[in-house]
Structure 1
Amino acid sequence: MKAVSSSNDGSWPDVNLGKLYKVASEVALPARFLGRILNAGLVLFTNLLAAVVGSGPAGHFHLPLNALVLFGPLLSLWTSSYSIFANRNHFLYRKFLVSAWGWTFCVAGSFVVLLSYSARRSALLSLRHLARLALTGLLWWGTGRLVCLLEDAAGTCFQPVAAAAAGGGSDLAGQPLLLLQEAQSKASCLRAGQVWRGYEVSQDTLTLCLCCLLLVEEMAAFGPHVLRAEAPTGPPAGAPLRILFLLCVFLLTLWLFLLLCLLAYFPQFPAQQLGGAIAYLGWRGLYQGWYRLKPSWFCPGPPGVGLD
C-alpha cells in the first residue's frame, strides 16, 4: 500500500505506509514492555503498602502518633535555629500546612470514591463513603471555630511598652512591660503586632493529627479490596486507583514530617498536646464509635463497608 505525495515539480518520492506502520510498531514495542514493567512494579509496591497499612501495627497507629505529639518537643534540644525548617516562611509550611485539610479531603475523597465505585459501580455507595469524609471535615471545622471562641474568651491582649515610657530612672525590675488591651480577639490582637496571653490550642497540630488518622483509616480498606481483585470474579484494582493510594501514602508521610518539624522547631507546650488530644478524641468518637454502627441514613458506616 502506497501513498504518493509530490511537490510543485512532482519530484517527491513515494511514501510506503506499510513501512511506516512497521517502524511505528517497532518503536511502540519497547514502550509497551516498559509500561508492563512499571505496572508490575506499581502492583507489587501498592500491594506491599496495602499489607502494611492493613496490618495489626497500623491498626494501632494512634499509639505512636500520640507518643510523637507528647515527646516530639524534646527534639528541640538537638535542633538548630539555622535550619531551613526553622523558618515559618518555608515552602512546605506556606503551601501545605495551611491547606492540609483541603489536600487530605481532595486526595482521600478521590481515592474513596474511585475505590467504592470500582468495587460496586454504585454512585449512591460512593456518596455514602464520601459523606464520611465530609462529616469528619465538619467536625474539624466546628472544633476549630469552638477553639477560637474559647481562646478569645480565656485570653487577653497586651501591648508592649518601651522602657523609656516608664520615665527617668524608674525601677522597672520585676514590673510588667505590657499594657492590657480590652475587647480584642486573638486574631485582631496578633494582626496589630501585639501579644496574646491565655490558653491556646495548636490548630496546626490538631489538623495534622486528624488528617493522619483519617488517611490510615481510609487506606486500610484498600488491602481487602486488593485481595478480592486477585480473585477471578473480583473487582479490578486498576492503575488509577493504585496511584491514588500512593498519593494518600505520600500525604500521610508529608503530614507526619510536617508534624515532626512543628514539634521540634516550634514547640508549644501544652498547646500542641491539647491539639493532638482533641484530634484523637474526634477520631475516637467518629471512626471508633459512630462509624462502627450499622450503615443507615444517619450513619455512613466504616471504611470498606459494602464493597464486597
Structure 2
Amino acid sequence: MDPMSENSSKSLTAEINLEKLQKIAAELILPGRFLLRPLNAVLEFISSLLAWILGCSLVRRHFHLLLSGLVLFGPLLSFWVSKYSIFANGNHYLYRKFLRSTWGWTFVLTGSFVVLLSFSACRSISLTLRHLSRMALSGVLWWGCRRLVTLLEDAAGACYEPLAPVQDGQSSSTPAQPLLLLHEDQTKASCLKANMTWRGYEVSQETLILCLCCLLIVEELSVFGRHLEHEKRLHRPPSAPLRVLFLLCVLLLFIWMVLLLCMLAYFPAWPSQQLGGALGYLGWRGLYQGWYRLAPSHWSPGLPGDGLFSSTDSDKHSN
C-alpha cells in the first residue's frame, strides 16, 4: 500500500472523529444551556432585589437602630423560649463552627466580595487594595477591642477557689456554705482553665464581634446596587461569581443575626452583652461614620464605592 495514501486515510479518519466529538459535545452542552438560563435568571433577580434592599437609604441609615433594639430587648425572649430547644445547647453546630470564628468567616467572604467588586469596576490593583484595607483596619480594631476587654476584665475581677465544707457532727442539719479562697495573681483565662470561679465585670466579646460584623457587612454590601447600575450603563453585565459571592455574604449576615438573637434569648447576660454591643457600635461609628469619611490626606481608605463609579453616583451615596 502506498504510504502517501495511508497517511491521507489516517488524517481523514482523524477529521471524522473530531467532527463526531464536536457534535457530541454540542449535543451535551445544549441541554446544559437551557438549564443554566433559568438558574441565571433566578440568580439575577434575587441578587438585584437584595442589592436594592441593602442599598436603600432607609436600611443603610437605620440598620444600627434595628441592631441596637435587638441587643437591648433580645434578652426578654428568654421568658418565652424553651430551655429544651436545640439552640439552648452551647455545643450546637452553629456555635462551634461559626460563633468561634466569626471574624474569619466575615473577612474571607466580605473581603473576597470587596476585592472582586473593586477590581471588576476599576481594574486598578492599588484602588482595590485601598478598599480591602478597610477590612484589615476592622480586623485591627477587633484585635484591639479584644485585648482591651481582656485587660479590663483581669483588672476588675478576681479568682476564687471553692473549698469543701467542714463536716462537723455537732453542727446543725443544714449544710454549710463552701468557703472561697482568693487567688489574686490569676487572670480570667487561667482561672477558668483551672476550673475555678471568676467574679467581676465582664463584656461579651461574642456580642461585640457579631454586632461589628453585621454593621460592616451591611456597609460593604450596600454599594452592590450602584455597581449593577454602573455595569448596566456600560452594557457590561456583572459576572455570575460576583452575584454568588454577594448572596453568600447576605447569607452570612443572616447567620450572624440568627446567632445574635439565639445568644440573647437562650444565654442572656445583662449587662455584659449590652456593653459588647455598645463597643461594636462605637467601633463601626468611629470607622465608617468617622475616619472613612475624611479626605485621603488623613490616610483614610474611603467609604465603600469611593472612586469606583461616576461622580454622580458618589454624590447620591453621600447624601
Partner Cα separation in structure 1 for residue 112 and residue 227 of structure 2: 16
Residue type at the aligned position of 2:41: A
1:146, CA displacement in angstroms?
A: 0.4
Per-residue CA shift, 1:92-130, capped at 9, x if unaligned? 111111110011011111100111100000000011001
- Aligned-residue Cα RMSD (Å) equals 2.1
What's 2:105 paired with?
103
Question: 1:129, 1:300 within 8 Å by CA — same for their partners in 2?
Answer: yes
**Relative to structure 2, which stretch is displaced further, 101-110 or 20-29?**
20-29
Map 1:50-199 → 2, pairs under 5 A = 50-59=51-60, 60-164=62-166, 169=171, 177-199=179-201
Question: 2:231, 2:237 within 8 Å by CA — same for their partners in 1?
Answer: yes
Per-residue CA shift, 1:257-292, capped at 9, x if unaligned? 111111111110000000000000111111011101
Residue type at the aligned position of 1:163: P
Alignment of 1:290 with 2:284, yes or no, is: no
Residue type at the aligned position of 2:13: A
- Aligned length, in residue pairs: 297
Instruction: Give the TM-score of the pair, scaled to structure 2.
Output: 0.87
Instruction: Give the TM-score of the pair, scaled to structure 1.
Output: 0.90
Q: In structure 1, the residue corresponding to 2:203 is in which secondary structure?
A: coil
Partner Cα separation in structure 1 for residue 213 and residue 254 of structure 2: 11
Q: In structure 2, the residue corresponding to 1:72 is in which secondary structure?
A: helix
Map 1:150-299 → 2, pairs under 5 A = 150-164=152-166, 169=171, 177-231=179-233, 233=234, 236-296=237-297, 298-299=299-300
Residue type at the aligned position of 1:160: P
Residue type at the aligned position of 1:146: L
What's 2:7 paired with?
none
Gapped regions of structure 2 (runs ≥ 5): 1-10, 310-319
Residue type at the aligned position of 1:35: L
Question: 1:201, 1:271 within 8 Å by CA — same for their partners in 2?
Answer: yes
Percent of residue pairs bearing the same amino acid type? 63
1:80, CA displacement in angstroms?
A: 1.8
What's 2:47 paired with?
46
Question: 2:163, 2:178 within 8 Å by CA — same for their partners in 1?
Answer: no
Partner Cα separation in structure 1 for residue 107 and residue 193 of structure 2: 29
Gapped regions of structure 1 (runs ≥ 5): 5-14
What's 2:312 paired with?
none
What's 1:10 paired with?
none
Decide which structure has greater helix share. 2
CA gap 1:17/1:133 in 2 versus in 1, 3 angstroms: closer
Alignment of 1:30 with 2:31, yes or no, is: yes
Question: 1:50, 1:219 within 8 Å by CA — same for their partners in 2?
Answer: yes
